């Protein structure tokens, strides 16, 4: 019998480490209508821009080590 067990890999959602900070900055730009830090004597979006800058400065941590796929394990069982 030539059965071959295959399982499609699950698609993992892409991890975006600074998505919340970027969303906050873009929302600030949309509400104030100004891309500069100061808006009529106020700080404008400077705090949101600083938060995004601090987040981007941190090193990105990748996930845990590689785990064997289900297809690899099934090929071992087949032998």
Q: Please give the pLDDT value at position 51.
A: 92
More confident of the two residues 57 and 43: 57
pLDDT of residue 71: 76
More confident of the two residues 22 and 3: 22
In angstroms, rounded to a whole number, what is the distance separating the alpha carbons of residues 63 and 29?
32
User: Which helix (H) or strand (E) segment is 6 a member of?
Assistant: none
Higher-scoring residue by pLDDT: 67, 32: 32
> How far is residue 14's CA from residue 22's CA, in Å, rounded to a whole number?
16
Closest CA to 44 of 36, 52, 56: 36
More confident site: 47 or 65: 47
For range 54-63, the mean pLDDT: 81
The answer to whether the beta carbons of residues 36 and 60 sit under 8 Å apart is: no
pLDDT in tens, 26-54: 998 888 876 665 555 457 788 888 999 99
Can you give the pLDDT at residue 65? Answer: 60
């Amino acid at each position: 019998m030539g059965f071959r067990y295959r399982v499609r890999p699950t698609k993992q959602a892409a991890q975006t480490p600074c998505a919340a900070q970027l969303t906050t900055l873009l929302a600030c730009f949309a509400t104030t209508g100004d891309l500069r830090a100061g808006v009529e004597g106020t700080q404008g979006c400077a705090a949101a821009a600083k938060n995004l800058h601090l987040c981007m400065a941190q090193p990105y941590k990748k996930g845990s080590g590689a785990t064997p796929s289900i297809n690899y394990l099934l090929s071992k069982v087949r032998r």
